[in-house]
Amino acid sequence: MAVGVLALQGAFHEHTVALKKLGVEAVEVRKPEDLEGLLGLIIPGGESTTMSKLAEQYKLFPALKEFEITGKPIWGTCAGLIFLADRAVGQKAGGQALLGGLDCTVHRNFFGSQLNSFEAELPVPSLVQSEGGPSSFRAVFIRAPAIIQKGESVEVLAYYDVSSTLSLEGDEEARLEGQSVAVAVKQGNLLATAFHPELTSDTRWHSYFLKMVQKSGDLVNVSPKQTNPLVKSRSQLKDLPVFRGTDYLSLETQ
């Protein structure tokens, strides 16, 4: 069994490490033929416009769309969330091509610039129900997007409570203090997170995704009722997150 990680740009290596921790073969995907035989795909965080241009250059979009419509699970993190969205605002001039499929509108730089990167404890009841472990997840947001509109078929797995007023671009300026925005969602075979689980040692989101792959192909050696053996208590997560402080500035993000 093998799961692919789109390796055009961004934090793909960290995802391959997490998959290997869970005993799954990780295949770096750069060409259409690399998708053959894969049961699932992760689209990592990175620079979404660059990622889109490279996917067009390597003629990946038709193969990625075919992979998606066959029902094979795809998980997008940060820039990957933008890639999967049907609609995106706050894009650079000229916009970018989107794979689409996820019935939502994403604001590309909802939380601000690279300097506004932050960490937050997110309540994740659906993740805990599936994977066990602590009641919250230490999420790393790096120049992060957020879902500002969603369709009825999109299930929200995690919200972020906006603690201050955010000034969005142009007419999209919003007064959001005391409100919440969706930062993790699921729709059918698509999973998306606005944050970077791959930059922590907590592999519960990866395990959650593998169970989606199992449900799709019934070939992943992870029991649907099995909790993640790598994460049982907060005491095991003292090294979270991997990246801190100015380390955010060294990462290529969307």
CB atoms within 10 A of CB 176: 18
104 as an active site residue: the answer is no
Residue 239 C-beta-side C-alpha neighbours within 13 Å: 8
- Residue 196 and residue 106: Cα distance in Å, rounded? 16
**Among the listed residues 105, 124, 51, 44, the one whose alpha carbon sits nearest the alpha carbon of residue 78:** 44
Q: To 5 degrees, how large is the angle CA 71–CA 105–CA 62?
A: 40
- Residue 60 and residue 36: Cα distance in Å, rounded? 12
Of 47, 68, 104, 196, the catalytic one is: 196
β-strand partners of 42: 5, 75
78 as an active site residue: the answer is yes
Of 47, 68, 78, 119, the catalytic one is: 78
Pairing of strands 85-89, 74-77: unpaired
CA end-to-end span of the chain, whole Å?
A: 30
Token output for 104:
């939502």
Q: DSSP assignment of 8-66, as one string?
A: SSSSHHHHHHHHHHTT-EEEEE-SGGGGTT-SEEEE-SS-HHHHHHHHHHTT-HHHHHH
- Residue 147 and residue 81: Cα distance in Å, rounded? 9
Of 104, 107, 198, 206, the catalytic one is: 198
206 as an active site residue: the answer is no
Active site amino acids: 78, 196, 198
